[in-house]
Chain A
Amino acid sequence: MQTETASVIEQRSLGGDYRVLEFASSKVAPRVKPGQFIHLRVDERNELVLRRPFSVFKTGKKSLAILYKIVGRGTQILARLRPGDRAGIMGPLGNGFPLPASQTFPLLAAGGYGAAALYLLAQQARKKGIIFIGGATADDILCADDFKKIGWKVKIATEDGAAGQKGLATDILTEYLSEKSKMRQMALYACGPMGMLKAVAEIAVKNGQKAWLSLDRRMGCGVGACLGCVQKVKDGKSWKWARVCRDGPVFECRQIVWENGKWEKEK
């Protein structure tokens, strides 16, 4: 874990509210593993007292990029950054995704900006797999070309049917598995809204596969000190709190204690 002041190399719009922001980073970038995130300081005037967590989308030798959605005050400030502007980066944080074993076929499921968290995993996995990308509409289908460029198959679903199949990413994942599940050893990886993660967990349990889920929680410190970001996980017959920033953000789906409906309010 490091901190550095990084200057912006490029800010690029992906259409809709989505942007890619690339930073020059010599300390954090070389250390990033798939599924890890950075804690970005977006406001130097202390009006926003918290940093903002973002998955690392891509890394170069001396740079890293995030893909983000403008949702509130912090991301609005981010959207104003121009090449040469500086921001404080802390990272890499969290445990990230375990890479699939060499014989394992990876299946990825992404909702919205969740695709960004899965890209490095796809890049580093020994077997090329399939990514199921879902979103509300065509604008929310992100990174499809990035995955295609590295030889992955991409399947798309939108809730309004504007791109790909109408429905959810987990619908097309279920369809796929109903045909192919007996043929090979697989592992599931997912990042997206809680409802989607829960659906992926159910699919994995039903098929006897592992599913690695990246959770999204409001974060304070990002390093495990404040206990603000906790998630209930199984602990023998009982449960305990795990810190999403430090013990996660990636958990195997069987670790998670799902609480009906509660996460709906949180998102």
Chain B
Amino acid sequence: MGKRKIDAPATNGPDMRVNLAGIAMKNPVMAASGTFGYGKEYAPLVDLNKLGALVVKGISLRPERGNETPRIVEAAGGLINAIGLQNPGFDGFTKKHLPFLKKYKVPVIVNIWGRSAEEYAEVAGRFDGVRGVQGLEVNISCPNIKRGGIAFGTDPRLTAEVVAKTRRKTKLPLIVKLSPNVTRIGEFARIAEANGADVISLINSFPAMAIDIETRAPVLANVTGGLSGPAIHPIALKMVWEAAAAVEIPVVGMGGITSEKEALAFIIAGAAAVAVGTANFTDPGIILKVVKGIEAYLVRCKLKSVRELTGSLQLS
């Protein structure tokens, strides 16, 4: 990639819109799954209409109880969680939570998971044609459940099977969320693309654990969990860069965004959009601050559109 030409200054402010395989977003910043509930929880504090998109907590066919407690523990610059995908199931979500979200103009992306490739496909099929849902994010990377989740995202054959079967069941834009727990992320990105993914998102939280040295017992009831937050950003950045280089489809970058700086780094590395997770807990206003920060950066760099920034990494 050559040196970027500096365009004429923007007149009405930079164009922040991005389109992810048909999901039209007013800006490239979304709320990451599992960190924004089903929207309602943060609605008193954050104008949901200003988010690029809202990805809801992972939904499965039937309700799931998730793991025992304790489920979260803080680490240096991060958070280890083992929620275990507690959720109200397809019916619970569409009856109890979706009607609330439909009142907003924010694109709603449903994060889905299952315990077998068939279950993934079945949930995806059920969401097809459900009004108020603009896309599906297929979580093949949850580190916190014994069957399903990460097992699918770390085995090339299973990744291919889940994505292909899910693809056949839905016309909705399909975002496949990759696991960071692999050596060659580009390979998994390509498999997802080849089997029908419209978009790739990464990274999910990183397998991790914490030990209480007084009791010599694991802190989390599940023993291990997933690390998220600032600590994982540099790892996520490398993976997003590699994945973006491997595929033609858009990439959503996430992992440790706490300001526009990390978000911009993901975009420069090749991401078309980004998602903010753990930082919502620290500062519920963070997504809108990241949006403003990106906008200010575009103005400062005299870029007309955020889309010009995607993949603008300068490699000499």
Q: How far is the CB of A226 from chain B (nearest CB, A)?
A: 6
Question: Chain B interface mostly helix, strand, loop or mixed?
Answer: loop
The verdict on A50 contacting B79 (CB below 8 Å), with A3-B285, A217-B69, A224-B37 known, is yes
B281 CB contacts on chain A under 8 angstroms:
49-51, 220-222, 226
Known: A88-B283, A227-B66, A228-B71. A3 touches B45 (CB 8 A): yes
Q: Does B230 contact A (CB under 8 A)?
A: yes
Interface flag for B77 (CB, 8 Å): yes
Could you say which residues of chain B place their CB within 8 Å of the CB of A47?
Answer: 76-77, 230
- Residues on B with beta carbons closer than 8 Å to the beta carbon of A228: 71-72, 81, 83
Determine if B37 and A226 form an interchain contact, defined as CB atoms under 8 angstroms apart. yes
Inter-chain CA distance A265–B223, complex, in Å, is 13
- Mostly, the A contact residues are loop
Task: Place the interface of chain A in its size category.
Answer: 20 to 34
Q: Which residues of A contact B42 (CB under 8 A)?
A: 223, 225
A224 to B40 alpha-carbon distance, docked (Å): 9
> In the complex the two chains form, what is the Cα distance from A237 to B283 in whole Å?
39
Question: Does A241 reach chain B (CB closer than 8 Å)?
Answer: yes
Residue pair A225, B35 in contact (C-beta under 8 Å): yes
Proximity bits, A223-244, B CB within 8 Å = 1, else 0: 1111111110000000001000
Residues on B with C-beta less than 8 A from A225 are 35-37, 41-42, 57, 280
Say which size band chain B's interface belongs to: 35 or more
A41, CB-defined interface residue at 8 Å? yes
Which of B65, B73, B279 is in CB contact (< 8 Å) with A241? B65
A254 beta carbon closer than 8 Å to chain B: no
Within 8 A of A (CB), among B222-238: 229-230
B60 to chain A minimum Cβ distance, whole angstroms, is: 14
Q: Does B2 contact A (CB under 8 A)?
A: no
Check if B312 is an interface residue, CB within 8 A of chain A.
no
Contacts of A224 in B (CB 8 A): 37, 41
Q: Check B278 for interface membership: any CB of A closer than 8 A.
A: yes
**Cα–Cα, bound, A49→B279 (Å):** 7
Cβ of A150 under 8 Å from chain B: no
Contact B41 A50, beta carbon cutoff 8 Å: no
Sampled A-B contacts (6; CB under 8 Å): A3-B285, A47-B77, A49-B281, A230-B71, A230-B86, A231-B69
Closest CB pairs A-B (n = 7): A225-B37, A228-B72, A225-B41, A224-B41, A49-B229, A1-B44, A223-B41
- Chain B residues in contact with chain A, CB under 8 A? 34-37, 41-42, 44-45, 57, 65-66, 69-74, 76-79, 81, 83, 86, 215, 217, 229-230, 258, 278-285
